[in-house]
């Protein structure tokens, strides 16, 4: 079953905590732990938003984002990072990501991002009938 939000982070503690917070707030969440899983999840489902860790082994967040965009060009993505990786973040923003949240995450900023995506998707549905 497809959910609203995809969380991608190699730290299972982060995906678990974020998933719990967002689920408690009424969101439907899918969590995966690497870029390859994220790409497969996006192939199967039309997520409204993706929270994507920048630094992951195998396929980093920027590479993952580029692959996701090939499948769903208009998908809303917010990067997450605990590291100072400004060159990677700048590349992701040039590719069209909406922004970056620094870890430890400010839950209020996270919720504002998700609420904005939810409002915009409702407006799009109402406009298209």
Which pLDDT does position 127 carry in this prediction?
54
Evaluate whether residue 64 is within a structural domain: yes
Which pLDDT does position 6 carry in this prediction?
97
Number of other residues whose CB lies within 10 A of the CB of residue 100: 19
Which pLDDT does position 28 carry in this prediction?
94
- CB of 18 within 8 A of CB of 51? yes
Percent of the chain with pLDDT over 90: 57
Number of folded domains in the chain? 1
Evaluate whether residue 104 is within a structural domain: yes
Q: Is the pLDDT of residue 31 over 60?
A: yes
- For residue 121, CA distances in Å to 2, 40, 76 come to 16, 22, 10
Q: Is the pLDDT of residue 20 over 90?
A: yes
Evaluate whether residue 61 is within a structural domain: yes
Evaluate whether residue 129 is within a structural domain: no
pLDDT (mean) for 31-47 = 96
Percent of the chain with pLDDT over 70: 90
Domain that holds residue 115: 5-124
- Reported as a single tens digit per residue, the pLDDT across 78-128 is 999 887 678 888 888 899 988 888 888 888 998 888 888 888 776 655 555
Evaluate whether residue 93 is within a structural domain: yes
114: CATH: 3.40.50.2300
- Reported as a single tens digit per residue, the pLDDT across 58-81 is 999 999 999 999 999 989 999 998
Burial class, 81, CB count within 10 angstroms (exposed 0-12 / middle 13-18 / buried 19+)? buried
Task: List the structure tokens of 39.
Answer: 């790409």
């Amino acid at each position: 079953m497809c959910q609203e939000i995809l969380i991608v982070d190699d730290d299972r503690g982060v995906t678990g905590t974020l998933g719990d917070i967002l689920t408690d707030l009424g969101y439907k969440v899918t969590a995966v732990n690497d870029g390859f899983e994220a790409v497969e999840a996006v192939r199967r489902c039309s997520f409204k938003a993706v929270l994507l860790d920048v630094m992951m082994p195998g396929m980093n967040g920027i590479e993952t984002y580029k692959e996701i965009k090939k499948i769903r060009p208009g998908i809303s993505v917010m990067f997450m990072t605990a590291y100072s990786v400004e060159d990677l973040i700048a590349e992701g923003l040039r590719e069209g990501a909406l922004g970056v949240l620094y870890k430890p995450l400010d839950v209020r900023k996270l919720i504002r991002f998700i609420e904005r995506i939810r409002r915009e998707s409702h407006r799009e549905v109402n406009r298209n009938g």
